Structure 1
Amino acid sequence: MPTKLTAQNLHRLPKNVAVPRYDRSQLSGGILHFGVGNFHRAHQAVYLDDLFNLGSGYDWAIVGAGVLDADAAAREKFERQDWLTTVVEQDATRMSARVTGAMVDYLKPGDAATIIARLADPAIRIVSLTITEGGYFIDPATGAFNATHPAIVADGARPDAPKTVFGLIVAGLKLRRASGVQPFTVMSCDNIPHNGVVTRNAVVGLAKLSDPTLAGWIRNEIAFPNGMVDRITPATGERERRIAADQFGVEDEWPVFCETFRQWVLEDNFPAGRPALEKVGVQFVPDVTPYEHMKIRILNGGHAVIAYPAGLMDIEFVHEAMAHPLVLGFLRKVEREEIIPVLPPVPDTSLEDYYALIEERFANPKIGDTVRRLCLDGSNRQPKFIVPSITDRLARGEGVSGLALESALWCRYCYGVSDSGREIAPNDPGWDRLQVVSHAARSEPSAWLSMDDVYGAVGEAPAFRASFAEWLRHLWTDGTEATLRRYLGS
């Protein structure tokens, strides 16, 4: 019989489950975090849990917050578990479980007044975010903040009753400024190029709608360090809850499963102070750009490369896709011939060794990551993970055949039917639009590349357009497997 996860039951958990070695009553909130999802709990919260286990940084515990309807249900689960989470790490040969206790509170979603008051608390010195790539109100093609989005317009009109994360941050900073309290640092933990710059543009852009003077103060006085985060963390389902209960004896309503690998590279720009995360493996650097390009293009771009052919061939899990010789061959050829050659060097890092590690991580059979998760939200991910490599290659006058095929595979996937005739359920916030354009592209491929918010100027490049059209024609005429064989020359 599994043991219900609560603070009172920690000592009753099986010996093969690690539990916090620190007294949680000694923790106090120093970080307010928006977006308490799986990745945050497998990454930032784990690093802090490691730090607390060293007996350090007790005033940097996490206070959770959220603005989505789903956040309210998540909060109820965490409250029943005293804010504890079971983290299960898996690789091909072993599996281990630990309970993390770095979160000490979770503010009620929708209670703007309470969240703003906590943001104004001098004890909160960092506000961090994992709100997904699509949560930053940016034009995917240009990276510019979209001040015309209805949610932003609403917060700009009613700055004292905000509903977005950025509206709450602006209100919290405004109150701190009025009270003479040192401002907090805003730290994005999302997979976005220059995530600190993107976050600053969103906060400043929203503030400008109601208070230009406040916007100028935020631009000049608030730190938004860029960071690169990395850990493969699939969604939690009944499979994961069952493993936690059956193999580790923990009844956790929302355990998080992840690979053993993790990485965090941060620019050291925290005027209000920060936890000593260098003690637990976080790398602080003057400029995170080369690390960020490496990860986003090789790992996240690699995910996109394998996702759509696998989805069209009805492959369910990522490790199964990696076991398919055509999918693996496609990944290797695109990475080594088109993505890696246009990446700038990374300090003390071999890009080929990094890619070899990516292959190993993708092939992890224990992680249970799904192809459908990788296919999700292409309209936000393609401009960040794939289009920049195309842009760089075209600027050098170099070929883009493999990246054009990846784009054609995404287009074909959004048609909504796999090669076998199986329906593909909606898998993008803009799925209806993507389906319409994909259907049009079947006879007129340029329709797909005319989505300026995705491709921008790249969609007008003759070499890319020609290659894309050819590959899309082969996908419709011959199917995914035969098209991959053609690309690989076999």
Structure 2
Amino acid sequence: MTYTTPLYDRSKLTPGIVHIGLGNFHRAHMAVYLDDLFALGEGHDWAILGAGVRAPDARMREALLAQDCLSTVIELDPSGRSARRVGSMIDFLPVQEDNAALIAAMSNPAIRIVSLTVTEGGYFMDSAGAFDPLAPEILADAAAPHRTAFGAIIAALRARRAAGVAPFTVMSCDNLPGNGHVTRATVCGLARLSDPDFAAWIEANVAFPNGMVDRITPATGDRERAMAADFGLSDPVPVTCEPFRQWVLEDNFPLGRPALEKVGVTFTNHVHEYETMKIRILNGGHAIIAYPGGLKGIHFVHEAMQDATIRGFLDAVETREILPVVPPVPGVVLGDYKSLIIERFSNPEVADTERRLCLDGSNRQPKFIILSIRDNLARGVMPHGLILESALWCRYCFGTDETGAEIAPNDPNWDMLQAAARAAKADPSAWIAMEPIYGDLARNPDFVAAFGAALDKVWAEGSEAAMRAYIG
């Protein structure tokens, strides 16, 4: 088995982008698109400087610097695997507590875009999707600036303004509704805590384009490292991914951008419609199959899709309760997109895990599920399937699956979730009383009753019976 290497002279690349958050998704998505563009002989002044602000980023830096910042990306097509070495990143900045190297790099006029993949929960939002100025890390950053990625961005923008250098564009590559708007709210909200005038300047002068990103990228473990070895590569941090990828962006880059439309990126004014489709149907779909699979002790996502009840539950909830609240997308048939998602989830080569899909529900549920619950309630429909999904999440957070096996902590807020789930076994309202997640839904008596009935059925009869009853 052979692999491909960059089809361009990496020594001729110069940086134009600082990217914060060098996880698997970025290296299988944005880095690949740029690698494709560079292979066309274009955009060689848009190479990536990698960056991070947390301890795991330092370990990733060490691993990537040891291989000249090349990333191994293995596409998991059922018809056969393929591997490539992606060379669009040319350096990884030192990871420092005060982010001095990161701030210096972003202050360089050559850097015209700062992009981020810091996870859905990394933007310090409350249950209503607004910036939370009382988040502990935000309060710490306001007191001792520049500790978060957003604090570093503010410091670099301030330095550029003082030097008469135009501000870079800030581009989120995370799965968030209106990710550009969210990023602006976080950057400006943090700046406003110490300098309201500078926050107003950022709002007026810095571009935050919205975007939709999509590619399934499992976590890296021994299996993935063995795949790299099959191609003759010794790489401690290879990335595996499905063949499919998609990137939709607003064309809002005042200092210019790479010509990514030449390698498949869609630039459109309809990003919101694309991202709503993806977040509700794909990310929501992941949640729908995650918790019943986790409760049944199923390990891999494709194995969950082979379970007729879980697959039927996914299709029924998507068709009855999600597709009707997704706005039309230009040129896309939503039913066809749903079918594509089901096909992608079923790919056995990807070997994505149910546990990864179950991770971080406290941050993901408000964005991927509860928004659809609210939209259904607004149209006068009680979304019993989505409510059952929420009950299954509650049952999962109790901490044991239906085989009796312990479920290890799987959320940054696991202690809070487990305490609420255990209280909810006797009193289901204890679960939906978590206002940071459910907002004011606990004050909707019809929703409270429907959730209580769903959770009681899960406990009394099991997830299989509860899903079968919904499917009908």
Task: Determine whether 1:265 maps to 2:248.
Answer: yes
Which of 202, 206, 213 aligns to 1:218? It is 202
1:4 maps to what in 2? none
1:144-183 Cα deviation digits (max 9, x unpaired): 1111122211221233xx1100000000000000000010
Q: Which amino acid aligns with 2:63?
A: K
Query: Equivalents in 1 of 2:76, 2:447: separation in Å?
Result: 40
Q: Which amino acid aligns with 1:164?
A: T
Task: Determine whether 1:123 maps to 2:107.
Answer: no
- Residue 390 of structure 1 contacts residue 458 of structure 1 at CA under 8 Å; is this kept in 2? no
Q: Which amino acid aligns with 1:152?
A: I
Task: Determine whether 1:315 maps to 2:302.
Answer: no
CA-based RMSD: 0.9
| Alpha-carbon shift at residue 114 of structure 1 (Å) | 1.6
1:334 maps to what in 2? 317
- Residue 387 of structure 1 contacts residue 458 of structure 1 at CA under 8 Å; is this kept in 2? no
1:230-272 Cα deviation digits (max 9, x unpaired): 00000000110011102x1111111000000000000000001
| Alpha-carbon shift at residue 457 of structure 1 (Å) | 2.1
2:53 maps to what in 1? 67
Task: Determine whether 1:380 maps to 2:363.
Answer: yes
2:379 maps to what in 1? 396
Q: Which amino acid aligns with 2:212?
A: M
Unmatched segments (≥5 aa) in structure 2: none
Which of 10, 31, 44 aligns to 1:45? It is 31
Query: Equivalents in 1 of 2:430, 2:384: separation in Å?
Result: 19
| Alpha-carbon shift at residue 286 of structure 1 (Å) | 1.4
TM-score under structure 1 normalisation? 0.95
Task: Determine whether 1:112 maps to 2:112.
Answer: no
- Residue 91 of structure 1 contacts residue 365 of structure 1 at CA under 8 Å; is this kept in 2? no
Query: Equivalents in 2 of 1:163, 1:176: separation in Å?
Result: 19
1:388-414 Cα deviation digits (max 9, x unpaired): 111111011012110110000000000
Which of 324, 327, 350 aligns to 1:367? It is 350
Aligned residues: 471
Query: Equivalents in 2 of 1:112, 1:462: separation in Å?
Result: 48
| Alpha-carbon shift at residue 465 of structure 1 (Å) | 1.6
2:219 maps to what in 1? 235
| Alpha-carbon shift at residue 420 of structure 1 (Å) | 0.9
How is 1:403-442 mapped onto 2 (pairs within 5 angstroms)? Answer: 403-442=386-425
Q: Which amino acid aligns with 1:80?
A: A
Task: Determine whether 1:446 maps to 2:425.
Answer: no
Query: Equivalents in 2 of 1:443, 1:182: separation in Å?
Result: 58
TM-score under structure 2 normalisation? 0.99
Say which SS state the counterpart of residue 310 (structure 2) adopts: helix
Task: Determine whether 1:132 maps to 2:119.
Answer: yes
Say which SS state the counterpart of residue 367 (structure 2) adopts: helix
Which of 40, 56, 59 aligns to 1:54? It is 40
| Alpha-carbon shift at residue 468 of structure 1 (Å) | 1.1
How is 1:143-162 mapped onto 2 (pairs within 5 angstroms)? Answer: 143-159=129-145, 162=146
- Residue 229 of structure 1 contacts residue 265 of structure 1 at CA under 8 Å; is this kept in 2? yes
- Residues 211-220 or 295-304, more deviating: 211-220
Query: Equivalents in 1 of 2:100, 2:440: separation in Å?
Result: 43
1:6-51 Cα deviation digits (max 9, x unpaired): xxxxxxxx6x211101000000110000000000000000000000
Percent identity reads 62
- Residue 459 of structure 1 contacts residue 465 of structure 1 at CA under 8 Å; is this kept in 2? yes
1:117-146 Cα deviation digits (max 9, x unpaired): 11100000000000000110111x211111
2:235 maps to what in 1? 252
| Alpha-carbon shift at residue 210 of structure 1 (Å) | 1.4
Query: Equivalents in 2 of 1:115, 1:481: separation in Å?
Result: 50
